[in-house]
Amino acid sequence: MLAIIGGSGMTKLASLEISHRQIVRTPYGEPSGPLTFGKIDNQEIVFLARHGHGHTIPPHAVNYQANIWALSLFKPKSVIAVVSVGGIRADLTPSTVVVPDQIIDYTYGRKCTYFDKTDRPITYTDFTHPFCLETRRHLLLAAEKANEKIIDGGVYAVTQGPRLETVAEVNRLEQDGADMVGMTGMPEAALAKELGLPYAAIAAVANHAAGRGTSVRAIPLEEVYAVLEKAMVSVRNILGHLVKINDG
């Protein structure tokens, strides 16, 4: 089974033949919504909309612990996180699709670990490679089979949100080595690593980050959503090919 977490621009999978939805209770509260089960090309899929039905849960308020725990109960072979980002690096232009390979975490106040109890020994999680190398390779192979252009690698800066960044903040992110900026990659990736889930992200570039691109003006949100939907067409095509690889 392949697990897919949909973010902004992907609150559902149009190609998913839904069999049922299931409400899952966890020790960490309720996930963003019911898990949706079904098939794509006869391959089993479980889907969760990160921001809930109607896209109502802001990035800092997502119950990442419950979401990842709920998906782990069904022992997926891989977890694919669909995220939208702003492009910092020059080649990460709007509508580009990229598979990041590193993360810098700028979030705060989020419940970021399953090992926060004092009644057991401290557990340290190796986060050298935040994304599963094999799952990343499968995403890149799926893009090749789908004849979709994709960029291999990039540093994903995760900010708190829900506001967007200032030009000065993006300048700092770039100086830190970030290539793109979004709001949902952490603690999601770290929690998946703690539970031993093979997790990788596929990022759709919705817009230039603040101060980047040919114009420094703020881009109207309706334009951002239009670009994001264009990128999501490619993402859905890639995921459609990924399910066959994941089943192999």
What confidence tens digit (pLDDT) does each residue in 55-112 have? Answer: 899 999 999 999 999 999 999 999 999 999 999 999 999 999 999 999 999 999 999 9
Tell me the C-alpha distance between 244 and 241, whole Å. Answer: 6
Query: What pLDDT does 71 receive?
Result: 98
What confidence tens digit (pLDDT) does each residue in 28-40 have? Answer: 999 999 999 998 8
Note the CATH number of domain 2-247. 3.40.50.1580
Task: Specify the length of the chain in residues.
Answer: 248
Query: What pLDDT does 220 receive?
Result: 65
Instruction: Report residue 70 as tokens.
Output: 């709920």
For the chain, what are the domain ranges?
A: 2-247
Percentage of residues in the chain having pLDDT higher than 90: 73
Query: What pLDDT does 245 receive?
Result: 80
Residue 9 pLDDT > 60: no
Query: What pLDDT does 18 receive?
Result: 84
Q: Would you list which residues are annotated within the binding site for phosphate?
A: 8, 50-51, 184
Strands 155-158 and 151-152: unpaired
Higher pLDDT, 121 or 6: 6
CB 139 within 8 A of CB 202: yes
Query: What pLDDT does 55 receive?
Result: 83
The number of C-alpha atoms within 13 Å of 43 and in the hemisphere containing its C-beta is 21
Query: What pLDDT does 247 receive?
Result: 62
Q: Would you list which residues are annotated within the binding site?
A: 8, 50-51, 183-184, 207-209
DSSP per position, the chain: -EEEEE-TT-SS-TT-EEEEEE---BTTB--SS-EEEEEETTEEEEEEETTTTTT-S-GGG--HHHHHHHHHTT--SEEEEEEEEEE-STT--TT-EEE--EEEE---SS---S---SSS-------SSSS-HHHHHHHHHHHHHTT---EE--EEEE---SSPPPHHHHHHHHHHT-SEEESSSTTHHHHHHHTT--EEEEEEEEEEPTT-SS--SPPPHHHHHHHHHHHHHHHHHHHHHHHHHHH-
Tell me the C-alpha distance between 107 and 113, whole Å. Answer: 13
CB 199 within 8 A of CB 135: yes
Tell me the C-alpha distance between 78 and 244, whole Å. Answer: 12
AA letter at 99: V
Query: What pLDDT does 223 receive?
Result: 74
Mean pLDDT value across residues 110-130: 88
Q: Would you list which residues are annotated within the binding site for substrate?
A: 183, 207-209
Mean pLDDT value across residues 148-155: 97
For the chain, the average pLDDT equals 91
Higher pLDDT, 244 or 246: 244
What confidence tens digit (pLDDT) does each residue in 181-226 have? Answer: 999 999 999 999 999 999 999 999 999 999 998 655 566 666 777 8
